[in-house]
Amino acid sequence: MDFYSGTVSGLLLLLLLSLVIVHGEIPTTLDGPFKPVTVPLDQSFRGHAIDLPDTDPRVQRTVKGYEPEQISVSLSSTHHSVWISWITGEFQIGDNIKPLNPEMVASFVHYGRLRFPLTHQATGQSLIYNQLYPFEGLQNYTSGIIHHVRLTGLQPNTLYYYQCGDPSIPAMIGDASYANLYLTNGTGSDCYSCSFSQTPIHETYQPRWDYWGRFMQPLVSKIPIVVVEGNHEIEEQAGNLTFAAYSSRFAFPSEESGSSSTFYYSFHAGGIHFIMLGGYIAYNKSADQYKWLERDLAKVDRKVTPWLIATWHPPWYSSYKAHYREAECMRVAMEELLYNYGVDVVFNGHVHAYERSNRVYNYTLDPCGPVYITVGDGGNREKMAIMHADEPDNCPEPSTTPDSYMGGFCAYNFTSGPAAGKFCWDRQPDYSAYRESSFGHGILEVKN
């Protein structure tokens, strides 16, 4: 395997299963005016995402024994380090599962600038996680052994080769998921708690995480990624445990960036300081996340990293009916802090469509505010968001907007501006520069 290390001019951000998408009119710079670029759209692509069957060779297990699979590279907090992650051993699903011992397979990575010999070695940690249900008829899950190893001392603009696995076990280096939209028997379901509606536990099909890891390995084993949690990663299970797959399967530069959580952290990439925030963990001013954010922003030297980009899952500025003003409590708590430190761009997912804002602060056009880009149109079986809240009869009832995972009710009627006295605008809002419902992908390229 190989990956490219160094100053990043183009960066792939995996916004946890909602890929960074840019459609329609693409901004040529983030300081000046946007130049519209027309992207042809085949109408047949709207809302027709289908699942790969588990018999598809792209998601089947192709290694044997404890050979590495689901290999991925993740960015660390600085440009001279990355995380290598992989899985050994097969997952188990059923009534009688026996978790593997993480200590039975060592976590080694050999790497260097030449294919042979690989002159450097790093060791890391391994773990497993379980998804358990105290209900008869539901299948429990235990993962393979998940390995995370951090490589340090990497040089800029350099191609590195690496080999991961336990050297005492013969290896062949082989080549997310919406697991909570499926029951433990693997069948799709739009009912999140059909089998036990009186409990908070949410049935999921964990093998889809393994299928996702296998499908993505040809890309993510070479291109570093970062992830941030979304609502589909909550995956409630027995013992009030949540986010088990998310926190176990991916590597995070949390400790390196002074964070004690996998839900929020930061890192540098080229001239950009990226801040990853959690929309499904406490974010008010007394919370650990907010206090960490204050410390992190205060440390950013804009002469060294002139661009400041923030990312979290549910958007603050979206004109679609789906999830409209759902994250208002988070906006009320954190927007002023991000504004005061001059955040340039914000990326969000959640809404299955594309929308780019004008520079905005507190719903008012402001040249010092960030540009918000909703890029939730990676595509899944839930189809696209198409209806806009400003269209006739589409404005949702305010009482339906809060998300139970994100705190209380904060979305009220607007008190000023063109939408004063109303919960929704009656036309495309001033803050909305461009919006489009379609599947796709895109690239953010930052120069100079």
- Catalytic residue annotation: 323
In whole angstroms, what is the distance from residue 321 CA to residue 20 CA?
21
Q: What radius of gyration, in Å, describes the C-alpha atoms of the chain?
A: 22
The answer to whether the beta carbons of residues 248 and 127 sit under 8 Å apart is yes
Closest CA to 253 of 265, 268, 271, 245: 265
